[in-house]
Amino acid sequence: MRILVTGGAGFIGSHLIDRLMTEGHEVLCIDNFYTGHKRNLLKWLNHPYFELIRHDITEPISLEVDQIYHLACPASPVHYQYNPVKTIKTNVMGTLNMLGLAKRVKARFFLASTSEVYGDPEQHPQTEEYRGNVNPIGIRSCYDEGKRVAETLAFDYHRQNDVEVRVARIFNTYGPRMLENDGRVVSNFVVQALRGVPLTVYGDGSQTRSFCYVSDLVDGFIRLMNGEHTGPVNLGNPDEYTILQLAQAVQQMVAPDVAIRFEPLPQDDPRRRKPDITKAKTWLGWQPTVPLQDGLRLTVEDFRTRITSPNPDSNPSVNDLTGSPAMLKTF
């Protein structure tokens, strides 16, 4: 099968490509390298069944493919808030372009949506029927509302143009190849612990998250894409941890003597986040299998190979962003 993965040089996208290539598919990867890296795909660059295309999906492209996994979009707050206009353009115009391609070539379309569509949820755990509690004008709305619009577009193309769509709502995911400066809680804690600086917990650490290891998530993607259900389907680990519990777990695993530092809670930071995965279990026969401790060990070892010297500035900043200079201006 000929499969397109947008955002395929990124953290999750590259793991998905590994799986698809291992299964013998012909894979095309589109990425503009705003947050993705060629190093994640080095083993496939000379493979006859793999093609890497540097392209920004806010511009149309013509390809012949059977399936489209649409993952392209900065997914961590430090990246998507740095250029919010570009983020929402990617979610809206980029999704329109990929849905248009799916319509023209009659490809099945997979949308990597997010648990952020639930906002700061008033229902716990979150089911797919919950419509969310999202601030449409907050600093996170370029991503939250952008993904909500992307879902709208997917279902409208499905109803109006008979495009086969699959929609996954992804909860917190972690694992090897996460960016050191992506601002997500797992990478923040691991990088800070490896550098021997205090672990930064926002608020009092009582807010909760659920952490899914990347290989489990990719398995859910493939089951959903090749199944009979449109979705949306929650994909995440229903085991719930407070942020303070996660910090303590990383602390004990990496640097027991490192302190934990508390900082003010960012605007619109969700208080609780936990997926109801009943649909994933029932429709896909899927549930996570990698325990948090095992996944954290693999993640720590990956970061350990990349972090070789102390860095006093442990907090990610836009000055650490990598990518094309054209991506770093206002659009």
* Residues 209-256: tens digit of each pLDDT: 999 999 999 999 999 999 999 999 999 999 999 999 999 999 999 999
Lowest mean pLDDT among 74-83, 152-161, 292-301: 74-83
How many Cβ atoms are within 10 Å of 284's Cβ, its own excluded? 23
pLDDT of residue 308: 59
User: 47-56, 96-105, 199-208, 316-325: which range is least confident on average?
Assistant: 316-325
Q: 141-161 and 95-105 are packed helices; what angle lies between their axes, rounded to 10 degrees? A: 20
Out of 69, 80, 82, 143, pick the active-site residue. 143
Q: Residue 296: what pLDDT?
A: 97
Q: Give the chain's end-to-end CA distance (angstroms, integer).
A: 36
143 is an active site residue: yes
* Residue ranges, CATH 3.90.25.10, the chain: 185-209+238-271+289-320
Q: Which tokens go with 157? A: 């193309």
Residue with the larger pLDDT of the pair 165 and 324: 165
Kindly report which listed range (46-60, 97-111, 130-144, 283-297) carries the lowest average pLDDT score: 130-144
In this prediction, residues 80-86 reach a mean pLDDT of 87
pLDDT tens across 17-69, in order? 999 999 999 999 999 999 999 999 999 999 999 999 999 999 999 999 999 99
At 271, is the pLDDT very low, low, confident or very high (cuts 50, 70, 90)? confident
| Parts of the chain belonging to CATH 3.40.50.720 | 2-174+212-237
Across all residues in the chain, what is the average pLDDT?
90
CATH number of 2-174+212-237: 3.40.50.720
pLDDT value at 154 more than 90: yes
CB 303 within 8 A of CB 187: yes
At 268 the pLDDT is 66
The mean pLDDT value for 70-99 works out to 91
Residue 96: count of CB within 10 angstroms of its CB: 17
Domain 185-209+238-271+289-320 has CATH 3.90.25.10: yes
So what's the pLDDT on residue 240? 93
Q: Closest Cα to residue 292, out of 212, 217, 199, 219?
A: 212
- Dist. CA 169–CA 147, nearest whole Å: 10
